Amino acid sequence: MECFDTHIHSEGKGITELKEMSDNSIKFAVSCAYYPIKPTNGYTLIDMFRKISSFEVERGSKVGIKIIPAVGVHPRCICDEWKKAVEWIEENGKIIGEIGLEIASDEEIKVLLEQLKLAKELELPCIVHTPRKNKKKITDKILDTLKKSGIDSELVVVDHVNLEIVEKVLNEGYWAGLTVQPGKLNVEDVLLIVEKFGFDRFVLNSDTGFNDLDCLTVAKSVKALEEKFSKFDVKKVAIENGKKIFKVI
Amino acid sequence: MECFDTHIHSEGKGITELKEMSDNSIKFAVSCAYYPIKPTNGYTLIDMFRKISSFEVERGSKVGIKIIPAVGVHPRCICDEWKKAVEWIEENGKIIGEIGLEIASDEEIKVLLEQLKLAKELELPCIVHTPRKNKKKITDKILDTLKKSGIDSELVVVDHVNLEIVEKVLNEGYWAGLTVQPGKLNVEDVLLIVEKFGFDRFVLNSDTGFNDLDCLTVAKSVKALEEKFSKFDVKKVAIENGKKIFKVI
pLDDT, one tens digit per residue, over B36-50 is 999 999 999 999 999
Whether A123 shows a pLDDT value over 90: the answer reads: yes
Looking at residue A212, its pLDDT comes to 82
- Which of B36, B43, B54 minimises the CB distance to A41? B43
Q: What is the CA radius of gyration of chain B?
A: 17
From first CA to last CA, the distance across chain B in angstroms is: 17
**Residue A138 to residue A102: CA distance in whole angstroms:** 8
Mean pLDDT estimate for chain B:
97
Looking at residue B212, its pLDDT comes to 82
Looking at residue B213, its pLDDT comes to 84
User: What is the mean pLDDT of the segment spanning A95-119?
Assistant: 98
Q: Do B54 and A62 touch (CB under 8 A)?
A: no
Residues from chain A contacting residue B13 (CB–CB below 8 Å): 14
Looking at residue B211, its pLDDT comes to 86
pLDDT band, residue B3 (cuts 50/70/90): very high
Please tell me whether residue B218 adopts helix, strand or coil conformation: helix
Q: In chain A, pLDDT over 70 holds for what percent of residues?
A: 100
List the beta bridge partners of residue A8: A31
List the beta bridge partners of residue B29: B5, B67
> CB-based contact (8 Å) between A39 and chain B?
yes
Q: Do B17 and A12 touch (CB under 8 A)?
A: no
Q: Do B40 and A41 touch (CB under 8 A)?
A: no
- Which of B13, B44, B50 minimises the CB distance to A14? B13
> CB-based contact (8 Å) between B15 and chain A?
yes
> CB-based contact (8 Å) between A55 and chain B?
yes
Cβ neighbours for B144, distance < 8 A, ≥ 6 positions apart = none
Q: Do A37 and B51 touch (CB under 8 A)?
A: yes
User: What is the mean pLDDT of the segment spanning B5-34?
Assistant: 97
User: What is the mean pLDDT of the segment spanning A123-135?
Assistant: 97
> CB-based contact (8 Å) between B184 and chain A?
no
Is residue A142 within 8 A of residue A177, CB to CB? The reply is no
Chain segment B122-175, per-residue pLDDT in tens: 999 999 999 999 999 999 999 999 999 999 999 999 999 999 999 999 999 999
**Residue B229 to residue A69: CA distance in whole angstroms:** 50
Looking at residue B4, its pLDDT comes to 98
Whether B22 shows a pLDDT value over 90: the answer reads: yes
Is residue A19 within 8 A of residue A57, CB to CB? The reply is no
CB burial string A193-213: b at 16+ within 10 A, e below: bbeebebebbbbbbbbbbebb
Q: How far is B159 from chain A (nearest CA, A)?
A: 24
- Which of A17, A47, A212 minimises the CB distance to B35? A47
Which chain B residue has the Cα nearest residue A37? B51
Q: How far is B206 from chain A (nearest CA, A)?
A: 15
Domains and CATH numbers, chain B: 3-245 (3.20.20.140)
User: What is the mean pLDDT of the segment spanning A221-234?
Assistant: 97
Looking at residue B226, its pLDDT comes to 97
Whether B84 shows a pLDDT value over 90: the answer reads: yes
Write out the DSSP string of B39-107.
-SBHHHHHHHHHHIIIIIHHHHHHHT-EEEEEB---GGG--BTHHHHHHHHHHH-SSEEEEE-SS--HH
Q: In chain B, pLDDT over 90 holds for what percent of residues?
A: 98
Please tell me whether residue B209 adopts helix, strand or coil conformation: coil
Looking at residue A211, its pLDDT comes to 85
ipTM score for this prediction: 0.95
Which chain B residue has the Cα nearest residue A214? B16
C-alpha count within 13 angstroms, C-beta hemisphere, residue B220:
15
Please tell me whether residue B182 adopts helix, strand or coil conformation: coil
pLDDT band, residue A5 (cuts 50/70/90): very high
Which chain B residue has the Cα nearest residue A77? B47
Whether A249 shows a pLDDT value over 90: the answer reads: no
Cβ neighbours for B101, distance < 8 A, ≥ 6 positions apart = B75, B108, B109, B112, B129, B130, B131, B138, B141, B142, B145
> CB-based contact (8 Å) between A59 and chain B?
yes
User: What is the mean pLDDT of the segment spanning A73-99?
Assistant: 98
- For chain A, the three-class secondary structure string (H helix, E strand, C coil) is CCEEEEEECHHHCCHHHHHHHHHCCEEEEEEECCCCCCCCEHHHHHHHHHHHHHHHHHHHHHHCCEEEEEECCCHHHCCECHHHHHHHHHHHCCCEEEEECCCCCHHHHHHHHHHHHHHHHHCCCEEEECCCCCHHHHHHHHHHHHHHHCCCHHHEEEECCCCCCHHHHHHCCCEEEEEECCCCECHHHHHHHHHHHCCCCEEEECCCCCCCCCCCHHHHHHHHHHHHCCHHHHHHHHHHHHHHHCCCC
Chain segment A11-28, per-residue pLDDT in tens: 999 999 999 999 999 999
Chain segment A179-225, per-residue pLDDT in tens: 999 989 999 999 999 999 999 999 999 999 998 889 999 999 999 99
Chain segment B189-230, per-residue pLDDT in tens: 999 999 999 999 999 999 999 988 899 999 999 999 999 999
Q: pTM score, two decimals?
A: 0.96
> CB-based contact (8 Å) between B51 and chain A?
yes
